Amino acid sequence: MDLVFPAGTTKLMLTRQQLLVRVVIQDSFEILHSSLLFTNAFPDRVLTIELIKDALVRSAQNYSPGALTIYQRLLYDAEYFRKIMPLVSLMNVHDRSS
């Protein structure tokens, strides 16, 4: 499923997404929270990205077959994942200055 952006911006808004995309993203919050509690509460940048991707992929799997397109795009379309990631984590994992 394609992501929906407000006119004139490249900033993704959760409330503008199709229902299934929104539910997959929202459910990934709980999965990520569990990963932070049981895997690593203070992950570095690389692990943070891995945990976010894992949470989104697992959430999409939970809604298969309806979310199969989302699942596949998360696995094989890096740009799709890169656009969704800021909705799941406030950490600016793209900032290379730190």
Summarised one tens digit per residue, pLDDT across range 15-73 is 899 999 999 999 999 999 999 999 888 999 999 999 999 999 999 999 999 999 999 99
Name the pLDDT band for 10 (thresholds 50, 70, 90).
Answer: confident
* SS3 label, residue 1: coil
Nearest partner of 59 among 20, 24, 32, judged by Cα: 24
- In terms of residues, how long is the chain? 98
Nearest partner of 26 among 93, 88, 97, 91, judged by Cα: 88
pTM, rounded to two decimals: 0.86
d(CA 35, CA 42): 11
